[in-house]
A and B are shown apart, each in its own frame.
Chain A
Amino acid sequence: MKKILGIFLLLVVVCVVTTLFNPKFLNAYNVQNIVRWTSLFSIISIGVAFVIITGGIDLSVGSTIGLTGTLLAWLLTFKHFNVGSALLTVFAVSLAIGFGHGLLITKLRLPTFVVTLCGLLLYRGIARYLTNDNTLGFGSEFDSLRYISVGHPFSLPFPGGRILIPMPFVLMVVIAIAAAVLLNQTIYGRYLLALGRNEQAARYSGINTHRITIMAYVICSVLAGLGGVLFALDVNSIQPAGLGEFYELYAIAAAVLGGCSLRGGEGTIVGVIIGAAVIRVLYNAINILGIPTQLDFAIIGLVILGGVITDEVIKRIVARRRAARPG
C-alpha cells in the first residue's frame, strides 16, 4: 500500500503542477483524452504486470500489438473475414503467442528476456511482411466495430460541462476487476505471488509452477492482443512498422511504477493503473506545457529508471536489515 501511495502522490503532484502552469489541463476534452489513453495503456500494463509478478518480463508486447492490430485490419479488409471470425483469429494468435512464450520459458528453461526479445523482432517482422509495410485502414465500413474503441457509452458531469466516458475505460474497469479478483481472491493468484517470490518453495508446496507461469504469459499476450485491436480501431490508419512500437516499455514502466517488483511476487492492479496514468499524464503535460516533444522518451526513461532505483534501494534496506538476523 505504501508503494501505491507514493505513486498516487506523484500523480497528484504532476496534475497539480501542470494545472498551475496551464489550466487547460483540466478541461473536459483533455481529461477525457487522458482517461482514454490511460485506459488503453492500463489494459496492456495489467497483462505485463502478471508476467512481472512471476519474476519475468515481456518485451514482445509492442510487437504483439502491432501484429494483432495489423492482422485484424488485414483479415477484415483484404481477406474479407466477417468481424466475428477476424476477432476470433486475432484472439487465437495472441493466445498462441503467450502459450509459446510460456512453454519456452518453463519447459525449455529459456531466459524470459531472450524469448520475448525474439518475439519482439518476430511479430513485428510478420506484421510488416503480411501487409508489405503498407498502411491499412478500416474505412467507414466497420464503424460499429470501431465503437468498442472510439465510442462513448455514457457521460458524467464534470466542472464546466460533461465528460464523455470512452469505451476503453469501461473495458479497462471490467478487466481490472477481473484481474484483481484473479490475483487476490483465487488460489491461482496466491500461487502466482508465491512462485514470484520463491519458485522452488512454491514447487515444493505442490504448486504446478509451470502451469501458473504459462497462465501469466497467456494473460499478458491476450491483453496485448486486445490492446492491439483497440489501438488499431482507434487510429484507423495502421502502420505495421509503427503500431505499438515501444509500448512494451510503457507497460513495463507502468507496472514497475505501480509497485510491481522486477524481482517478482509483488504488485497490485490499482497500482498498475495509477502507473499507467502517471505516464499518460506526463505525456499530456509535455504537450500541454509546450515542452519539446523530442524530450518525451527522455522523460519516460527517467521515470522508469527512478522506479527501478527506488525498488532497488528499498530491497537493499530490507536485505540489510535481514542480514543482521541469524543466517
Chain B
Amino acid sequence: MASSFFTLSASDHVIDARYVSKRFAGVVALEHVNLSLRRGEVLAVIGENGAGKSTLMKILAGVLTPDNGEIRIDGKPVELDSVRTGLKHGIALIHQELNLSDNLDVAANIFLGREPRRFGLIDRRRIYADAVPLLREVGLEVDPRTLVDRLSIAHQQLVEIAKARSTNARVLIMDEPTSSLTQHEAEQLFKLVLKLREAGVSIVYISHRLGEVKRLAERVVVLRDGKNAGDLHGYQIDHDSMVRLMVGRELSQFYKRRAHVIREDFLRVADLRTPAHPQHRLSFTIKRGEMVGMAGLVGSGRTELMQTLFGIAKPRGGSVSIAGQPVELSSPLAAIEAGVGMVPEDRKQQGLILEMAVRTNLTLAALRANCRGRVFLNRGYERKLSADMVGTLRIKTPSDRQLVHLLSGGNQQKVVLGKWLALKPRLLLLDEPTRGVDIGAKQEIYRLMEELVESGVAILFVSSEMTEIIGMSDRALVMHEGRLMGELRRDQLTEEAIMHLATGGADPERDVA
C-alpha cells in the first residue's frame, strides 16, 4: 500500500529535505530543492559554482534557515535554527575552510565548548584520555597534546572529523574535503569515509572532482542554478551523465568555443620564483589570442603566481617579458602599464570597493590615464566609460550610481571585469573568475573571455572547476605544491590527466630536469 510504503521509506531516511527554498535579498539561491539521505550511505552533491550546494549544506547544518520547505530528521519535522540544533540532531558540517583554533591542542579542539569538568575546572586528564579513541577511529596517530597549527591540512581535517564524531554525529557533511589534499592524503580520507559508512554514519560529500564522486558515492544529487537537476544511482554515475546534468546540456554547448587564432608569444616567464614557493622555478609562455587555464589544488601556488605576475607579490628571481620586452613587475601599476589586467580571486576584498558606486569602481583603474591636467577628474569620461561598460557587459543595475555591494555576485564580477576592459589589457589574468556567480552570469563571463581572446588578448585563468578548465582552455598548466607539474594540450585535457598532475604525478611527456 502506498501509505505504508511511504512511512517505511521515510523512516529509512536520516534527513529528508523537501521543497527547500532560500533567497538572499530577492536573489534565488535555492528553489524547491529536495534531498534525502539514507542511513549509512555516501551521497554526493555536485553542481557548478553558484548552483546552491553550499547554501543547501548550510541549511542542513543549521547555519542558515530556509525561507520555505520542510526538513525531517528520522521522519519528524524539525526546525534547524542553529548549528547547535543541527549538532543535537547529529548533523555536523566539515567546512572547506577548517574551523579549528590553531593555538589550542588537538584534544582541546575536539572538546571545545563541551569540556568535561571536575570541581568546576576543565578535567584535562579526561580530555586527553577521551581524545585517544576518537583519534584512533579517524586514523590520526598524533599526541592529543599537539598544537593544531603543527598539523598538516589533512590532519586538521581529521581532527575536525574526530570532533564531529565526539558529538555523536550521524551525518557528516563534507564540503570539498579533498580540495587541498595530496593524492595519498585523499586516499586516506576515502578509506575513512568508507569506514564511517560501515559504522552507520551517513555522509554528504560535496566535490568538484567527478572521479572521486564516482568512486565513493552510491547516489548523486545534481544541483543546477538553485534547483534539482537530477539524481543518479549506482551504475548511472558516470562522468558524462554528471557533467550533462550539471551544465544542463552537452559540455560543448555550454562552453561555446570558437577556434582561436593563436598568434605569437606574448608573455614569457623564465625561472620565476614566487615568494610563496621560492625553491621552485616556473617557466612558461602564453601567446596572443590564447586561453590558458591553470589547474591545481587549493594551496598549490596558483594564486601566488598570479599575484607575482601582477606585481602584488615581489618575485624572488627569474624574468618576465611581455611582447619581447623584459618587464619589471614591481607593482600593480607597473603591470598595468605593461598591459596586464587582473581579476583577483577575492572579489569583495581585492576586486571591488563595495561601498562605492558601480561607476566609481568601473573607472578606478582607468582614471589615471584619462584625467585632465594630470590630476583632475574627468567626469564626462567617467560617465561615458561607465555607461559603455554597463551596456557591453550587460551589468544589471538600476543606475551606475548604485553601490556595488547591492549587486548580485555575477554582476559584481562583471564590474571587476569592466574595470580592466576599460584599460584594454593585452594580457588578462583571471583568478577563479566564476566563483560565486550564477549560471547566466557565468556564461556571459565565458562569452567575454572568448571575445577577448578573439581580439588577440592573451588570457591566463585559474580555476578549481574541472569542467571550466577542460571546457575553456586551449592549453592548461597544472601546479602542485608550488611547482609547475606540466602542460596539457587541448586534446590531452581530461579530468584524470589534470588530477594526476595536480596531485603530484609526473608529466609523462616532460623530461625530468
Contacts and interface: CB of A to CB of B under 8 A. Distances in A.
Contacts of B354: 197-198
B154 interface: no
Contact of A205 (B29, B332, B408, B409): B332
B377 A201 contact: no
Nearest to A327: B24
A263 to B, nearest CB: 10
B120 to A, nearest CB: 36
Contact of A201 (B335, B351, B376): B351
A171 B349 CA distance: 40
A198 B354 CA distance: 8
Interface string A294-327: 0000000000000000000000000000101111
Nearest to B337: A206
Nearest to B22: A326
A132 B342 CA distance: 57
Interface stretch (B141-149, B179-187, B266-274, B363-371): B363-371
Contacts of A326: 24-25, 27, 29, 408-409, 436
A202 B367 contact: no
Contacts of A205: 332, 364-365, 419
B351 A325 contact: no
Interface of B: 24-25, 27, 29, 310, 312, 331-333, 335-336, 342, 344, 349-356, 360, 364-365, 367-368, 371, 375-377, 405-406, 408-409, 419, 436
A186 interface: yes
A327 B346 CA distance: 12
Contact of B332 (A194, A197, A203, A325): A203
A246 interface: no
Contacts of A208: 331, 333
Contacts of B331: 206, 208
11 contacts: A187-B376, A190-B377, A194-B353, A201-B350, A204-B312, A204-B350, A206-B335, A207-B332, A324-B25, A325-B405, A327-B24
B225 to A, nearest CB: 14
Given A186-B375, A190-B364, A326-B408, 18 more contacts: A187-B371, A190-B360, A200-B349, A201-B349, A202-B364, A203-B332, A204-B312, A204-B332, A205-B364, A205-B419, A206-B332, A206-B335, A207-B332, A265-B353, A322-B405, A325-B27, A326-B409, A327-B24
Shortest Cβ-Cβ A-B pairs, 10 listed: A326-B24, A325-B25, A206-B336, A206-B333, A205-B365, A186-B375, A205-B364, A206-B332, A198-B353, A197-B353
Nearest to B367: A187
A28 to B, nearest CB: 40
A188 interface: yes
A240 to B, nearest CB: 39
A200 B436 CA distance: 20
Contacts of A325: 24-25, 27, 405-406
Contacts of A265: 353, 355
Contacts of A197: 353-356
Given A187-B377, A206-B333, A200 B368 contact: no
Interface string A177-207: 0000000011110100110011011111111
A319 to B, nearest CB: 10
A205 B409 CA distance: 19
Contact of A187 (B332, B335, B368, B408): B368
B344 to A, nearest CB: 5
Interface residues of A, number: 24
B100 to A, nearest CB: 21
A135 to B, nearest CB: 44
A247 B18 CA distance: 64
Contacts of B375: 186-188
Interface in A190-233: 190, 193-194, 197-198, 200-208
Chain A interface helix/strand/loop/mixed? helix
A188 B408 CA distance: 29
A186 B377 contact: yes
Q: Most chain-B CB neighbours within 10 Å: which of A187, A194, A206?
A: A206
B24 A206 contact: no
Nearest to B375: A186
Nearest to A210: B331
Nearest to B419: A205
A325 B409 CA distance: 10
A109 B406 CA distance: 32
Contacts of B419: 205
Contacts of A206: 331-333, 335-336, 365, 368
A200 B350 contact: yes
A266 to B, nearest CB: 8
Contacts of B344: 204
Contacts of A204: 310, 312, 332, 342, 344, 350-351
B354 to A, nearest CB: 7
A185 B332 contact: no
Interface string A104-137: 0000000000000000000000000000000000
B409 A185 contact: no
A203 B353 contact: no
Q: Most chain-A CB neighbours within 10 Å: which of B333, B344, B351, B364?
A: B364
Contacts of A203: 312, 332
A323 to B, nearest CB: 10
Nearest to B378: A187
Contacts of B351: 201, 204
A188 B373 CA distance: 13
Contacts of B312: 203-204
A198 B332 CA distance: 16
A194 B352 CA distance: 10
A200 B350 CA distance: 5
Contacts of B350: 200-201, 204
Interface string A246-273: 0000000000000000000100000000
A265 B375 CA distance: 19
A122 to B, nearest CB: 32
A194 B377 CA distance: 14
A207 B350 CA distance: 12
A194 B409 contact: no
Given A188-B375, A190-B360, A202 B353 contact: yes
A197 to B, nearest CB: 5
A204 B405 CA distance: 18
Contacts of A187: 367-368, 371, 375-377
A185 B382 CA distance: 12
Contacts of A200: 349-350
B25 A201 contact: no
Contact of A185 (B25, B29, B364, B376): B376
